Structure 1
Amino acid sequence: FAFQGPSLKQFMDIFSLPEMTLLSSVIDYFINHGIEFDQVHLYKDISDAIRDVHVKGVMYKWIEKDLEQYILHGDEIYAVLNRLVNHKKKLFLITNSPFSFVDKGMKHMVGKNWRDLFDMVIVQADKPNFFTDRRKPFRKLDDKGSLQWDKINQLEKGKIYKEGNLFDFLRLTGWRGSKVLYFGDHLYSDLADLMLRHGWRTGAIVPELETEIRIINTEQYMHSLTWQQALTGLLERMQMYQDAESKQVLLEWMKERQEIRSLTKNLFNPQFGSIFRTFHNPTYFSRRLVRFSDIYMASISCLLNYDVNFTFYPRRTPLQHEAPLWMDQLCTGCMKTPFLEEMVHIR
């Protein structure tokens, strides 16, 4: 779509997949059948349809009919939650989904006593407005999901609350700042306001990370990336030689480097490459991810690999004026790099 600025739609989470699929399918149908259409109208109609399916509860009913197909059993999720509870951590759940869906889904994933794991459960929270709009009060639900009329002066363990807002949540719990670690799967709806305005620690759940890590740990990827970096260093060092033979060698190196760049990108996805980087540049998603999350992982179950008191320290990444030092180390062998010695013999 030829939009710019605020009119450019960003598809940022897993809920965007059906919307993108429907958009591409309808556009493909219109083009193949010679049907003229206005891009703005098409996008609006499809967005409205997606929203109606979600807001009116149609999606929840479909999923509830076949939980086995749509929701995985969460043995590892239960292990994480139970471990945190045993270490005296206070847990809370804030979701936009209705209680009936949350209850059935969590019973399927975690077990019938899932509510015992959480100190607070808030449903139909209307995120991201929950984090910015002070006007909606908390409402209590009974065990059948019916609204109660009493004023909420405290958030009680074992009770279910609807709507509300973060400002009342902070006032009633006293939980503030870096003592809170909040996990979410949407950078804007879940994490941005909490980090920028309230100082919470944030963790992003990125399921695609599992596939990406598996690819970067393959021998093919590591071989290709190492040789690409070595070629880059050679090109930087040797471009001063301008005789005919040297120029020919440099051209061959440049061609080979470009081929390797394309290869490493296509290993992730032939159409789009990695969701985290485009060649040497981080993607827009990756930059937003780093901006709005302190840590990110494929699943909350990844925490099982670490002690509860483990501290994650930020990694030092080279700046542009530091990069030449890194390349010199790589190309002169000062850094121990996998497969580099083998490649010296090959080349």
Structure 2
Amino acid sequence: KSIYRNEKINLSNDRFEWIDTLFGLPEAVMYTTLVDWSDRQTGTVAYDKLFGDIRTAIDEAHRDDTLKSVIKADLASFIVKDPLLGESLHKFRSSGKKLFLLTNSLYDYTAQVMSYLLDGERKAYPSWRNYFDIVIVGGAKPAFFNELRPFVQIDPANGEPITNGEIKHLSRDKVYQGGNVVAFEQMTGIKGEQVIYIGDHIYGDILRLRKQHMWRTAMVLQELEREISVSDRLEAQIKDLELLDRRHRNLESEIDFQTLRVKKIARILDDPATTPPLRARLEEERKAMRTTIETLRQRANLMDAEVDSLDQRIDRAYNTHWGSCLREGNENSRFGEQVNDYADLYTSRVSNFGPYSPLRYFRAPRRPMPHEI
């Protein structure tokens, strides 16, 4: 506490690495495992270089298809299939919405994953491509949102580019690679708040897009279902924590009030014009107030310890290491702040939109400022 309350922590410093996307988790696990192993060995270890080597290795596994080849060989072991996804996409299409797929993955991997998720789910859609009006692979997000890379048509049979000049129209029966948001809006005539973009990467999908463009965004946060489940299970304890916190604030207010009264009495006692009888009575009153203040402070300290203990138990119920991914004590976590600031909506899966009318306009609840509470 002495460090974090007295020193400004620069989170952009090279000493810090973010673990706020699913890509960061394997890096963190490998790093902590190798640090534990290295600490048991002789010699010195350059821990910053160790992390850099891990990141380089993971990046290479992505580039050379090492990782994706393992996933493609056994999709069911790595990808959770949502049985309501096809129905939800069909509902959007039936209401006149146009759907597009934008992914950083290249076509061969995209086709296998999407086939696993959607092929055969509905008779009207023999292939996953039938659900989408536009398919864009190799989008290189976030570059798709802040650079002007050209669209390239590719051959679905082999993933190779088809050389036919500049792309001037995005067709339903073709597959494209690369591209950029400006050209996408120009060719489709759809822009700004007419688009809701659903993604699961806070930087690549949500933050960069919202900072530079007016598309609406929806963040898919798979941890949300567990967060809600834990919150429901601990509802009574969370309410107890809120009650304790409120009582603790009331105690602090009472301590402040009594302290002000003691100071006011002290000023009267310092006045030479104060009569002896009044001085004696005020001395007794000040002594009683000081006893009251000490009692209140002891109660506040006990309550503070009880609040900390309950808060830690609740945090560990979400995750034994870092608690809720969306909250930190009474405030939002940094990740929670990013979701709150840049995602117009957030949900655990696309099919959660299914029960709502496709014409539904979602409005944020009114959030009071502290002075309004």
Pairwise TM-score range, normalised by the shorter structure: 0.7 to 0.9
TM-fit CA distance, 1:74 = 2.8
State the secondary structure of the residue aligned to 2:136: strand
TM-fit CA distance, 1:6 = 4.6
Q: Which amino acid aligns with 1:126?
A: A
**Distance in 1 between residues matched to 2:115 and 2:349, nearest whole Å:** 19
Match of 1:315 in 2: 365
* TM-score (ref. length: structure 2): 0.81
1:35 to 1:29, Cα distance in 2 relative to 1, 3 A? farther
Confirm whether residue 250 of structure 1 aligns to residue 285 of structure 2. Answer: no
Q: 1:50 aligns with which of 54, 58, 66?
A: 58
Confirm whether residue 227 of structure 1 aligns to residue 240 of structure 2. Answer: no
**Distance in 2 between residues matched to 1:73 and 1:253, nearest whole Å:** 46
Match of 1:139 in 2: 152
Q: Which amino acid aligns with 1:227?
A: L
State the secondary structure of the residue aligned to 2:363: coil
Confirm whether residue 87 of structure 1 aligns to residue 103 of structure 2. Answer: no
**Distance in 1 between residues matched to 2:163 and 2:109, nearest whole Å:** 22
Match of 1:165 in 2: 180
Q: Is the 8 A contact 2:145 2:212 kept in 1?
A: no
Q: Is the 8 A contact 2:18 2:24 kept in 1?
A: no
**Distance in 1 between residues matched to 2:254 and 2:189, nearest whole Å:** 61
Match of 2:19 in 1: 11
Q: Is the 8 A contact 1:94 1:121 kept in 2?
A: yes
Confirm whether residue 154 of structure 1 aligns to residue 154 of structure 2. Answer: no
State the secondary structure of the residue aligned to 2:352: helix
Q: Which amino acid aligns with 1:298?
A: S
Q: Is the 8 A contact 1:224 1:264 kept in 2?
A: no
Confirm whether residue 183 of structure 1 aligns to residue 204 of structure 2. Answer: no
Question: Aligned-residue CA RMSD in angstroms?
Answer: 2.0
Match of 2:330 in 1: 280
Q: Is the 8 A contact 1:235 1:254 kept in 2?
A: no
Sequence identity (%): 27
TM-fit CA distance, 1:3 = 8.0
Q: Is the 8 A contact 1:277 1:286 kept in 2?
A: yes
Query: Which runs of no fewer than 5 residues in structure 2 stay unpaired?
Result: 1-8, 120-125, 259-289
Confirm whether residue 72 of structure 1 aligns to residue 72 of structure 2. Answer: no
State the secondary structure of the residue aligned to 1:81: helix
TM-fit CA distance, 1:199 = 0.7
State the secondary structure of the residue aligned to 1:102: helix
Confirm whether residue 113 of structure 1 aligns to residue 127 of structure 2. Answer: yes
1:41 to 1:222, Cα distance in 2 relative to 1, 3 A? closer
**Distance in 1 between residues matched to 2:43 and 2:94, nearest whole Å:** 61
Q: Is the 8 A contact 2:244 2:303 kept in 1?
A: no
Q: Which amino acid aligns with 1:225?
A: L
**Distance in 1 between residues matched to 2:325 and 2:53, nearest whole Å:** 27
State the secondary structure of the residue aligned to 1:315: coil
**Distance in 1 between residues matched to 2:342 and 2:192, nearest whole Å:** 15
Q: 1:214 aligns with which of 229, 251, 254?
A: 229
Query: Which runs of no fewer than 5 residues in structure 1 stay unpaired?
Result: 327-347
Q: Is the 8 A contact 2:251 2:296 kept in 1?
A: no
Match of 1:24 in 2: 32
1:173 to 1:301, Cα distance in 2 relative to 1, 3 A? same
Q: Which amino acid aligns with 2:237?
A: Y
Task: Provide, for residues 192-251 of structure 1, a one-character-per-residue CA deviation record: whole Å limited to 9, x for no partner.
Answer: 232121111001111111111111112443443343344334324433455144443333
* TM-score (ref. length: structure 1): 0.86
**Distance in 1 between residues matched to 2:361 and 2:13, nearest whole Å:** 38
Match of 1:194 in 2: 209
Q: 2:136 aligns with which of 122, 126, 136?
A: 122
Q: Is the 8 A contact 1:92 1:120 kept in 2?
A: yes
TM-fit CA distance, 1:274 = 0.9
Q: Is the 8 A contact 1:265 1:274 kept in 2?
A: yes
TM-fit CA distance, 1:269 = 1.8
Of stretches 57-66 and 225-234 in structure 1, the one that deviates more from structure 2 is: 225-234
1:109 to 1:44, Cα distance in 2 relative to 1, 3 A? same
State the secondary structure of the residue aligned to 2:364: coil
User: How many pairs does the alignment contain?
Assistant: 321
Q: Is the 8 A contact 1:205 1:297 kept in 2?
A: yes
State the secondary structure of the residue aligned to 2:152: strand
**Distance in 1 between residues matched to 2:10 and 2:212, nearest whole Å:** 29
Q: Which amino acid aligns with 2:230?
A: I
State the secondary structure of the residue aligned to 1:75: coil
State the secondary structure of the residue aligned to 2:371: coil
**Distance in 2 between residues matched to 1:312 and 1:114, nearest whole Å:** 28
Match of 2:321 in 1: 271
Task: Provide, for residues 9-56 of structure 1, a one-character-per-residue CA deviation record: whole Å limited to 9, x for no partner.
Answer: 222211221111111111111112134222332122111100011111
**Distance in 1 between residues matched to 2:175 and 2:89, nearest whole Å:** 18
Q: Is the 8 A contact 1:138 1:162 kept in 2?
A: yes
State the secondary structure of the residue aligned to 1:24: helix
